[in-house]
Chains A and B, each alone.
Chain A
Amino acid sequence: TVLTQSPGTLSLSPGERATLSCRASQSVSSSYIAWYQQKPGQAPRLLIYGASSRATGIPDRFSGSGSATDYTLTISGLETEDSAVYYCQQYGTSLWTFGQGTKVEIK
């Protein structure tokens, strides 16, 4: 299963809403969709699992949604610290795959 993330780069101002898309080449169980944040020089950090459940300690401005082949990560009220690359990940017949990432830049 190939995961295609869009857009490649998102440039927004603080306080705006970011909408990140992750499209799967075939249907994926929503239970097996996760989102991660990675900042330069840091390890990936789990944000969302099961498509919509926030991981421990993740602010509620991060939310996930979707089903079948289309999944979305929304960041409501962007903060400067949200500048990072965001990856979706799935588990299925091809075991684990990650999307290529969406870079979020804060103006």
Chain B
Amino acid sequence: EVQLVEYGGTFVQPGGSLRLSCAASGFTFNTYNFIWVRRAPGKGLEWVSHISASGGSTHYADSVKGRFTISRDNAKNSVFLQISSLRAEDTAVYYCAREDPRGWYFFDYWGQGTLVTVSS
């Protein structure tokens, strides 16, 4: 069974840093791309960052470029999101999701999410 479990979300002050993790199981991890997507309170989904299967290609939304860093450890079946210089507008539930491998750029499995709250 495919499972994605995010953790690491917490309450943090503006300007602070945090590392989110996504632990995967039930499939061949190193053959899939992954994305982090967030949902802020009262708002819709927003893609944040994407990483290729090898980790050699990464992409970031303009809203987080320079502040967020995505990475992965294929030996530990995990994807990470290092977030820094946090702002109130980064408050959201952060989801990791697996990209379908057929090259159609959609996401077939999602984790339950981890909540990041940025406030003074």
Cβ B106 vs Cβ A46 within 8 A: yes
Are B110 and A44 in contact (CB-based, < 8 A)?
Answer: yes
Q: Give chain A residues whose Cβ lies under 8 Å from the Cβ of B50.
A: 95-96
**B44 interfacial by beta-carbon distance below 8 Å:** yes
A42 touches which one: B37, B61, B104, B112 (CB < 8 A)? B112
Number of chain B residues close to chain A: CB under 8 A: 24
Looking at chain B's contact residues, is the secondary structure mostly helix, strand, loop, or mixed?
strand
Contact of B108 with A32 in the complex, beta carbons under 8 Å: no
Chain B residues within an 8 Å CB radius of A31:
104
Question: Which one, B43, B45, B46, B59, contacts A44 given CB within 8 A?
Answer: B45
Residues on the A chain within 8 Å of B100, using CB: 49
- Residues of A close to B107: CB separation below 8 A: 34, 36, 44, 46, 89
A3-34 near B? 1/0 per residue, CB < 8 Å? 00000000000000000000000000001101
**Chain A residues with Cβ under 8 A from B43's Cβ?**
100
Q: What is the number of contacts between chain A and chain B, taking CB atoms within 8 Å?
A: 64
Q: Are B47 and A45 in contact (CB under 8 A)?
A: no
The distance in angstroms between the C-alpha atoms of A47 and B64, with both chains bound, is: 28
A87-B45 CB under 8 A given contacts A43-B110, A96-B35:
yes
A81 to B113, CA, bound (A): 21
Shortest Cβ distance from B46 into A: residue: A98
Taking beta carbons and an 8 Å cutoff, which residues of A are in contact with B? 31-32, 34, 36, 38, 42-46, 49-50, 55, 85, 87, 89, 91, 95-101
